[in-house]
Amino acid sequence: MNRTIEEPEEPMTDRVTRADPMNVLRRRTSEKWRTYPDDVLPMFVAEMDFPLAPAITAALREAIEVGDTGYVAPHDTGAADAFARYAAQTWDWSPSPERIGYTTDVSVVIVESLRRLIAPGDGVVITPPVYPPFSALIPEAGGTVVEVPLLDRPDAEDGSTYALDLDGIDAALARGARAVLLCNPHNPVGLVHSRQELAALSRIVDRHGASVVSDEIHAPLTHRRHRFTPYLSVSDEARHHGIAAASGSKAFNLAGLKTAMFVAESDRMSAVIRSLPEEVLFRTGLFGLIATRAGFDHGRDWLRGTVAAIEENVALLERELAAKLPAVRLRPPQATYLAWLDFSELGWGEDPAAYALEHARVALANGPEFGPQGAGYARMNLGCAPETVIEAVDRLAAAAG
């Protein structure tokens, strides 16, 4: 008998999620598995190789069995309720479901929020190296990109190598920028911003009368030794001027189901969300809402196992690089399943991903696309089997001679 989404999944605590075998993965038709021929290891785009959480599979199966494939219900708060419960129990943050709005994906949350928070031509701060679409989403919203690169701190006591340049952001806002597009946790470097740093940012933004849109899509994938801090939880100022973009799409591998959330914690930002055209809501995927609710309510053990698998792969990659390719420097992430790799010493040029694809048949994400600071870097997806990590390093080492 099939389980409903109200039923708990089989307990998986202390288990590590294992990736599907390669013959199953190559039956998938998503971007990761259709961009390159079968002799290429695809480790570029942010899709995971793990099977869906059992609770999500059960919820989607039930929806198909009853033909639940229609439009989203405009007043259904099920996914928002589930996210709020998860946030309260995981991050000690209790967003109000009635202040949460739905749409297709985090990119739409960013664009539609910025359209209402800035005037045409206003500057929006980003902190490269950062998720490449940020540079396109800001002009789509009518703004102008203002780059304030992350500070590089290789000697930080906590092991972090990056930090927000708060002075630089302050200066950019003083020059007229009207918003900050925050990546929290930060893609590609896996930085988890501290509560103190975010609180300081909120005071700076408040002093300039600006706004923050915080992309928190990778938050559920924060590693166990670190603690994620939602931007809207750090101060009254942050709640007044901030909107968070949340989703289960990265945590539960649901990108193709198209659901994300606008999260507000003030009357001002709730009014921004209420001002959205109803079509912004109706473009949401019903399967995405169903899967998001099932994941945040009943997929938490699976998620813990997935984070454990990612952490094991990070440690494995460190060992493999040390033994076989010591010239490549890994900056260990504090969150995400993405590894930011410095290939500079190999002499593979500004875009080592291009060299790796041609000579090693390993597809990595192009470092310079994350900003000029990505020259000589590439991003590797570790949401995969350990054997894939080993084979990737073997291929890269062979290409390096």
387 contact partners, CB below 8 Å, separation of at least 6 = none
For residue 157, what pLDDT is reported?
A: 55
> Domains in the chain, start-ordered, CATH in brackets?
22-52+300-400 (3.90.1150.10), 78-298 (3.40.640.10)
Please, what are the averages of pLDDT over each run of 10 residues along the chain (401 residues)? Answer: 36 77 96 97 98 98 98 93 98 97 98 98 98 98 98 66 95 98 98 97 98 98 97 98 98 98 98 95 96 98 98 98 97 96 97 98 98 98 98 98 88
Start-to-end CA span in the chain (Å): 55
Q: Which residues contact 354 (CB under 8 A, 6 or more apart)?
A: 366
CB of 284 closer than 8 Å to CB of 258: yes
Which residue is associated with the tokens 């084979």?
A: 391
Identify the residue whose tokens are 């009254």.
236
Specify the pLDDT at position 153: 77
Question: Which distant-in-sequence residues (6+ apart) come within 8 Å of 127 by Cβ?
Answer: 147, 148, 149, 150, 164, 165, 169, 182, 183, 186
d(CA 102, CA 110): 12
Q: Report the pLDDT value the prediction gives residue 75, as an integer from 0 to 100.
A: 87
Cα separation, 101 vs 251, in Å, equals 19
Of 268, 337, 269, 266, nearest to 47 by C-alpha is 337
* pLDDT score at 12: 44
Which residue, 224, 127, 190, is CA-closest to 339?
190
What span, in angstroms and rounded, lies between the C-alpha atoms of 342 and 212? 30
- Whether the full predicted model's pTM is greater than 0.75, yes or no, is yes
Angle between helices 352-360 and 386-400 (to 10 degrees): 90
Q: How many whole angstroms separate alpha carbon 275 and alpha carbon 279?
A: 11
Closest by CA position to 257, among listed 53, 60, 36:
60
